[in-house]
Structure formats: C-alpha cells, structure tokens
Structure 1
Amino acid sequence: MTVPKVLIADKMSPKAAEIFRQRGVEVDEKPGLSKDELIAIIADYDGLAVRSATKPDADIMAAAEKLKVIGRAGIGVDNVDIPAASARGIVVMNTPFGNSITTAEHAIALLFALARQLPEADASTQAGKWEKSRFMGVEVTGKTLGLIGAGNIGSIVASRALGLRMKVAAFDPFLTEERARDLGIEKVDLDTLLKRADFITLHTPLTDQTRNILSRENLEKTKKGVRIVNCARGGLIDEAALKDLLDSGHVAGAALDVFTQEPAKESPLFGTPGFVATPHLGASTTEAQVNVAIQVAEQMADYLLTGAVTNALNTPSVSAEEAPKLKPYMALAEKLGLLAGQLVEEGVTRVTVEAEGALAELGLKPVTSAVLAGLMKPVSDSVNMVNAPVIARDRGIDIAEVRHEKEGDYHTLLRVTVETGAGTRSVAGTLFGDNNPRLVELFGIGMEADLSGTMLYVENEDKPGFIGAVGSTLGKAGVNIGTFNLGRRGNGGEAVMLVSVDENISEPLLWEICRLDGVRDVKALRF
C-alpha cells in the first residue's frame, strides 16, 4: 500500500504534523509558499492542509494530479475553490466546531466591554485622566440577552449568559421548543426579541435570509439603550444604520468583531462613542488553533487511510457501490429539502423522509442527509450532507425514515414531510428519465415543476384573472417569466403557483404581489 502524503501549506500547530505521522501519513510542512511554488510541488501530494493564507484555486488543483482531499483548519472556506475541487473529485473538509468555545467567549468578553465601557475607560485612564464619573456602566445580571442564532456557538453563549444570571431569549427558525427548554432559554420571534432584549448577540451564518437581519428597520424596533455584539459574520448588520442609531443614542453600544468589508481598515463606525471593534479575533486563541489543527489532521488521515468522510462540504457519506445509483436521488432530495426550508417559517420539530418504489431499495441515510442539508441551507451556508444530521440532532429535530416498497403513480417517489408548531406540510418529487429531479406535489396539491434558478411562490385563492394579475405585475417590473407551474385543490379553493423568472425578485416587488387580491403567501425562492 502506498503511504499517503500530505502538505501543510499554512502555519499550523505542530500537533497536526504529529498526528499525521502517528497515523502513518507522510507529511511536509511548508508554510508561506507562493502560488507558483505551490503549483510546482502539489503534484506530489494526496492531501493539502491549509488555514486562510493559502488559496487553492482551479490552477493549483489542475496541477494536483494526486490530490484527494483539502482540509481547512477552521470554519470558513472562502479561500478554497469548492466547485473546482468538486469537478476534480477532491473532497473539501473544514472543522466547524473547533472554534466554538473561543468565539462564544469573545462574544461574552465584548458584552462586558460594552456594559462597563472598558476600552474607553482604559484609553482615558492611560492618557492620565481619572474620569470616574464619566464611565457609568450597567450590570448584566437580570438583563435579557437576545440571541439571534441558537446553534453550536449560540447555545454556548446562552449557557455562559445563564451562568451570569441573565435571561436569554432566542430567535432561530430551527430551534424547537424542546431544545429551548433543554438549554434553559425562551424561544421567541424576531420582533419580540428586538423589543425585549437589553443586549443582542448574533450567531448565525450570512445567507440570503440573514443578510442585514439587523436592518435599519429592525434596529429601530429595538429597546432604547440596547447593546449589540456581532462575532458571527459581517453583513448581518446595516453598519450605516448602526452608526446613525449610535449617534442618536438609541443604541447605547455596539461591538463588532466582523465587518461587511474585511480587512476593515476604515469604517464610518470607527471613533463613534459607544463603539468597540476587534479585528476578527473570534477564533484567535491558542486553544482554538490547536483544536482545529488536531481535527483537520484526524479527518484528513481518516479519509486517506480508510475513506471515512467527516465534515465534508462537497460530498456526502456514501459507499462506492451505491454512489452512482444514489446521485440523482440525492439531487432530488436536496431540492425538495431546500424548497421546504424556504417555505416553512416556524421552528421545525420533525422531518419524515418517505421512499416509494425503486428508491426504497437503496440506502436512505444519504438521501435523508441531502434533505436535511437542503432544508437548513437557507439559515446555514456551511451545512452539508455530512454535518446536516448532527446539526438537526443538536437543534432537537426528530428525523424519521419510511420505506414503501410498492409503486404508486410513479416508479419512484420521494416525499418530505416537515412538522412545525404551525402544522404539517409535505412536498414530493420523482425522477424523470431516471435522472432529472422533478416536483410532483406541493402541500398535497398536484403540481409538476423543475426546481431551479430563481422562482416565485404564491399561495392564493383560486379566482379568475389572478394569473394575469401576477404576470402583469412581473412584466411591469421588468421580470421575465421562464415557466408558470400551477396547482389547486379544487375550483375556487386554495391554489399555488411556482413561477421561474430570469431576474432576482426585489422586496418591493414581493410586497406588490402580496397586495394582490386573494394572495395568502408569497416568497422568492432560490435553487
């Protein structure tokens, strides 16, 4: 057996190389290589371990004749060209949980910095002043912490805040009531959180749904005197609006570790009274750096030696025998999950995956993972078919798989049923020509549609002229229609439509469609 060989291309804890060697993997440590230098030697390696400095792109991968896996010691993989890696069959892994405690502790540190004005008090005192009366802080005990995002890091922040005798209210579409009770926190909607929170801290990825989640409108809904912390991702807060509300005194303080543009060498927020900034230090502790180095080495060694896949961003856990058969079903599963995830607003408590006909004869675990990956993608851009079941379990979501060996109207059918506090809804699809994913049922209404690109979802009362009104509204906005897919329960009853369009659908246009007579719900979907 050929001994696999790994290149560590960025500065990393020595523990990584130690683990590779202990596992029988040959390893070279060569941090600081230029792109040309890396291209010149990468053909010798089966694995490439990086942090953020090295940027494996299509050129590097084209020269990497043997490369099987890229391991990112950390969460973000913006520096890795994942589509290029996928095209060449290279697995891309990250270590999503190695920085969790460190990031959570940094959020708590910034919370205290705001509560007691520590940076300003330090600067004043070291400047020879003694402005004791100027720095009147607030206690955190008994205050309400509003948590936007209650996943891995958010739940750690919640536990620390409870230890400080704070009250914790959380907004997270995938947080169940049961999981909230286990954490000792209260699950609330976003508006309630904004009105009640004395402190707000964000722990959610940046997605289309979370971008500017603290918009000007939402910032203005907050309690006067609120203090805001963001150690998650830049782009979650409207920074210009935050500046205005700090100046007005509505927001008493804000601490950002992340910015919309990084490195943030300049910002209108800099110098604003009550504002604290750190240069993306969430993961910057000795322990975190050691943890991610150990994890990436263990994951890469497992894959190179046994084929085991952990925390992969571009491939599911599938055996070699089943992979060709499952591939089209997994594409269907992810699209159905993504559809459900964009249409369901309440916290998901249970997901049931039902396979009928040919699919029932195959392994359902990868298919279920693909469903969950699609379902949670609207709120977590780092979710994938490998880590989705773990994330679902951590959120308290119950997962069920059901097989029906009989064939129904289709030779194979996949049904995804999602239960929330608001009720139960299901979507179903099949494969056309054994390869092409196709929606065939939406919320119990028969409808055939290809789920791709940007789509408009409308739920309405079945009335004459309604289809024309929607088409006319889109036309006036300059939005071109690709396909119009319709379904209804009966004459004059509930009707749904899925309209594929060639342009993005703006919020003002959605509101205009929402005001049409008979509309019950409207959403912009992306596949």
Structure 2
Amino acid sequence: MPKVLISDAMDPKAAQIFRERGVEVDEITGKTPDELIAIIGDYDGLAIRSSTKVTKAILAAATNLKVIGRAGIGVDNVDIPAASAQGVVVMNTPFGNSITTAEHAIALMFALARQLPEADASTQAGKWEKNRFMGVELTSKTLGLIGAGNIGSIVADRALGLKMKVVAFDPFLSPERALELGIEKVELDELLARADFITLHTPLTDQTRNILSAEALAKTKQGVRIINCARGGLIDEAALKAGLDSGHIGGAALDVFVQEPAKESPLFGTPNFVSTPHLGASTSEAQVNVAIQVAEQMADYLMSGGVTNALNVPSLSAEEAPRLKPYMALAEKLGSLVGQLTHGAIGRISIHSEGAAAELNQKPMVSAVLAGFLRTQTDTVNMVNAPLLAKERGIEVREVRTEREGDYHTLLRVSVKTDAGERSVAGTLFGPSDAVGAAPRLVELFGIKVEADLAGHMLYVVNEDAPGFIGRLGSLLGEQGVNIGTFHLGRRSAGGEAVLLLSVDEPVTAELLGKVRALAGVRTAMGLSF
C-alpha cells in the first residue's frame, strides 16, 4: 500500500480521499526541515501547501518518494530540478482557486469604487463623513483586462453581469474566443486609454514584468482605478505611488506585491490605496477544492500511474518514454522558439511530423509544442494542461503526419497562424533519433534554411544581406563584452533577407538590443531563452 505524508495543514477531505483510494496517509504538520528529513524516507508521496520547503536535502532523504502534490498553484517552495533528477513527479492544482481569485478582484473593484475601507474606518471612528465619500458606479464603466485566461475570463463574466463594458489585452486571445466571452480584444495602448478600471490576470514573465510601467501608467485615463490580484512585479510600484499622489490614478488595490510578505511599502498610507495580504485564494471553498484535487491526482498516480497537472513530466506510458524523450525535447524547443518570435492573435498551431517522428505517439509531442509555446506567456503551463489552456484561448490545434521521409530521416514542423499570416519553424534530431542523447537541431526558420542548436541565451537578428554586416555586429558585441558561443546564419537569397542566431553567455539586455537595432540593415532583433 502506498504511503503519503500530508505535511501542511489541509482540509480533512484530502486524507479521506487518500484512504478511500487505498493509500495510507499520515497528517504530520509543523515539522522543521531536520525533522522532516528524519521521516520522509518512509513515504511514497508528499502533499504540501506553501509552508513546507522541499529542498535538495529533503529530496536526498526521500529515498522512496515518487510524487509531490502542491495544493495550490505556486511551486516556488519545491526544488523542481532536483525532484526531476530524482525521478519525482511534481504536481499542482492550477485551477482550484480560479473563482476565488476572480471574486477577490471584483471585491477590490467595488472597494475602490465606493471607498469602502476609508468609509468604514471613518464611520467606526464616529465621524459620519457622509459627504466625504463620493463613489462611482460600475454600471456602464469600461473594465480593461490584462490577461483573459482562466481567471480573467471569470472576471469578465462577472463584470458583464454588472453591466460593464469589457476590453481585453491578451496576445493569446483569439477573436473567436473574445466573441464567445462577449468582450472586445484590443491592444494594450487602447486598453490604457479607454479603461475606467484595469485588472491584471497574467503571470509574471519577462514579457509581463512591469507591464504597467511609468510610461504605461501615463497613458491611462485620468482617474483610472487599478486592481492586481495576480503577481507582484506586474506594476511599477513607485510609478503607481506617484500616480496616486498626483491624482492621475484615482485608486489602486493590490493583493500582491513585489516583496512578500509586504510588511513595509511606500504605498501604505497613500490615499485611495487598498491592500490585502495575498488573499486571492483564501476562501474555505478554494481550500477544499485544492485539497480534494491534489489528493485525487496523487492517488491516481500512486495507484494506477495516471499523471495529471504534472509540472515536470508529460503524460506517457513507461514503454513510450525513452523513445519519445528526444522528440519531446525538440518539440518543446520549437514551440518555445515560435512562441517567442510570434506576435498577434493566435488562431491555429499546426504540428507536422515527417519520417520517423510520424510513427510515434503524437499526443506527447503536441503537448510539448504547446507547453513550450504557452510557457512564454504563463508560468503554470505543463505538458498535461497545455492542450486545455490552448483550448481556453480559442487556439485551434492541428496534427499532420507524413510517414515518408523528406530531406531528413525525421522532421518536426511547427506552424502558427496569426492575424498577420502564417509562419513556421522546423527541426530534426542529430544522432540516433531513438536515442536519449539525440540532439535537437533547428533546420528552418520562417522559410529560411538554417542549422542551429537551441539552447541557453540567444540573439536573433533579421537583417538585409549585405557585405560587412556580420563584421559590424561582431564588433558591436565585442565592444559590449558579449561572448559568442555559436554563430548560425541563413538567407532567402543573395542580397535579400538574412537571419542570424547567436548563442551568448548571458541574457540579452534591452540596452544591447537597442544598439543592435540601430545597426544599418537590421530589421528585427530579439533576445531568446531556452
């Protein structure tokens, strides 16, 4: 009988489900790391919330551990690389608290609209300042959603019920999905100019960090009210403070902060500012939901091998895994590449396998492509939930197989259709295609033949094919102290469009990109990460 340890306080229904499914369970909470190390070796599964920190030391002592289940979304308290290296599956419950978080955003919107915290404090102080608190109605106001995924779409539904107009900025929101939700898809600048209220529902990534920067906040409507129940770091807190002090921003409500726990902040005490201590998921219903879900997922894995919402493994049988592993690595890298390079509303993703790849189980490769693609925009995606997330965003997914071999023994092509047209990338495996050590290799990029590894940090440049350009670029990188690891290039035709992919030792900075883009002949320059 498998044995599970619940090491954080969790709803009793979790233990009940384990026992009903034939899993022995102990509920031992509040242990120190050393105390946990002393007992963890007896368990096949570990169910946690946010208090337990699953470190390398704990994993090293967990000689029988097969699965870690996090009742909630965030897994910052789990060393996932160490767990993966040890063969431990890490699961979370990414959708168990969506409604709760969406409702908290709506509650904060009401609090800002009617100045409820200030009015409560004033009234309980015996002041009865009825004329001081002149609020605004939500009816007919425009709500701007930054992020229209699972939580954002719930907020949109609630806002429409309040007779608000809803506009949304989300690169992954298709026109069809927007129509289905009853909202209007817009670009960020238009949202900033039109919205009376702005609420954020996007993960914190390189693309979304400080999405509401000082520059962006300056573009907002006078008196705008801003709510963030997603992630700290999406808003420039200093710029938000300045906007509140000047009166340009009519109010702000934050449930999340750059530094947490936020026991000090320049925003505290600012008029028209409301704060809560990361309560988005803190309802009794949400706690029950995530407890039930994590117990069901872990029990399924321990009793039958079923994998749901795993962050570090795909849904695979034991027989398929070794042969599929290199293909999935190739698929994920191609998905990540096209995701980083594609802009605009995504209507369709096509995955076309040729040769040896066409003979294999396509589902894990498709999931790997989608996970790589969506990971550029969301931090909760994995190979199990990627197809669901794509469906929620209205992205059509097509699979095409061609068993005949072309120029390569095996080839995987990923094509993305956007409102700007269709573009594709293709890759193959170097070395024995059925060997774990076979290396993914890019062989085509948007119609241009190119051979390149996809690893680490890379600089992507599209330029006019003209004499002297490579020398100028190399000189610039040398002046900036940038060390080139590998250098790959291709072109459509002599004197036409050319593309360069350079691997570099450090992440590509915005300052460096600005200098590269200033070079004569450069059409596009971007930093990539794999």
Q: TM-score range by the shorter chain?
A: over 0.9
Partners of 1:127 and 1:205 in 2: CA distance? 39
Q: What amino acid is the match of 2:471?
A: G
TM-score normalised by length of structure 1: 0.98
Show the counterpart of 2:6: 8
Determine if the alignment matches structure 1 residue 314 to structure 2 residue 312: yes
Show the counterpart of 1:98: 96
Give the superposition deviation at 1:132: 1.5
Give the superposition deviation at 1:217: 1.1
Report the secondary structure of 1:382's partner residue: coil
Q: Deviations over 1:321-361 (max 9, x none)?
A: 11000001100110000000000011211111111111111
Determine if the alignment matches structure 1 residue 460 to structure 2 residue 463: yes
Partners of 1:277 and 1:502 in 2: CA distance? 40
Q: What amino acid is the match of 1:520?
A: R
Greater mean deviation of Cα atoms: 462-471 or 79-88:
462-471
Show the counterpart of 2:497: 494
Give RMSD over aligned pairs.
0.9
Partners of 2:329 and 2:446 in 1: CA distance? 20
Partners of 1:421 and 1:285 in 2: CA distance? 40
Report the secondary structure of 2:524's partner residue: strand
Determine if the alignment matches structure 1 residue 476 to structure 2 residue 479: yes
Q: Deviations over 1:395-418 (max 9, x none)?
A: 111111111111111111110001
> Which residue of the other structure, out of 100, 107, 119, is the alignment partner of 2:105?
107
Q: Deviations over 1:451-503 (max 9, x none)?
A: 11111111122222222222222222222222221111001111111111112
Show the counterpart of 1:331: 329
Q: What amino acid is the match of 1:286?
A: S
CA contact (8 A) 2:507 2:529 kept: no
Report the secondary structure of 1:137's partner residue: coil
Q: Deviations over 1:172-218 (max 9, x none)?
A: 11110000000000111111111111111000111111111111111
* Ranges in structure 2 where 5+ consecutive residues have no aligned partner: 433-437
* Ranges in structure 1 where 5+ consecutive residues have no aligned partner: none
Q: What amino acid is the match of 1:89?
A: G
TM-score normalised by length of structure 2: 0.98
Give the superposition deviation at 1:515: 2.4
Partners of 2:227 and 2:351 in 1: CA distance? 38
Show the counterpart of 1:287: 285
Q: What amino acid is the match of 1:168?
A: V
Partners of 1:174 and 1:474 in 2: CA distance? 33
Q: What amino acid is the match of 2:65?
A: L
Q: Deviations over 1:74-105 (max 9, x none)?
A: 00000111111101100000000000000000
Where do 1:378-393 residues align within 5 Å? 378-393=376-391
Show the counterpart of 1:198: 196
Partners of 1:109 and 1:519 in 2: CA distance? 48
> Which residue of the other structure, out of 421, 444, 447, is the alignment partner of 2:447?
444
Show the counterpart of 2:512: 509
Q: What amino acid is the match of 1:407?
A: E
Q: What amino acid is the match of 2:465?
A: D
Where do 1:58-207 residues align within 5 Å? 58-207=56-205
Partners of 2:138 and 2:80 in 1: CA distance? 42
Q: What amino acid is the match of 1:219?
A: L
Show the counterpart of 1:50: 48
Show the counterpart of 2:242: 244
Report the secondary structure of 1:252's partner residue: strand
Partners of 2:34 and 2:82 in 1: CA distance? 18
Partners of 2:194 and 2:474 in 1: CA distance? 41
Greater mean deviation of Cα atoms: 215-224 or 101-110:
215-224
Q: Deviations over 1:8-58 (max 9, x none)?
A: 110000010111111111111111111111111111111100000011111
Partners of 2:51 and 2:18 in 1: CA distance? 21
Report the secondary structure of 2:202's partner residue: coil
Partners of 1:206 and 1:378 in 2: CA distance? 10
Report the secondary structure of 1:97's partner residue: coil
Partners of 2:141 and 2:431 in 1: CA distance? 59
Partners of 1:120 and 1:332 in 2: CA distance? 55
CA contact (8 A) 2:212 2:235 kept: yes
Q: What amino acid is the match of 2:61?
A: A
CA contact (8 A) 2:411 2:426 kept: yes
Q: What amino acid is the match of 1:357?
A: G
Where do 1:409-420 residues align within 5 Å? 409-420=407-418
Give the superposition deviation at 1:443: 0.4
Q: What amino acid is the match of 1:141?
A: T
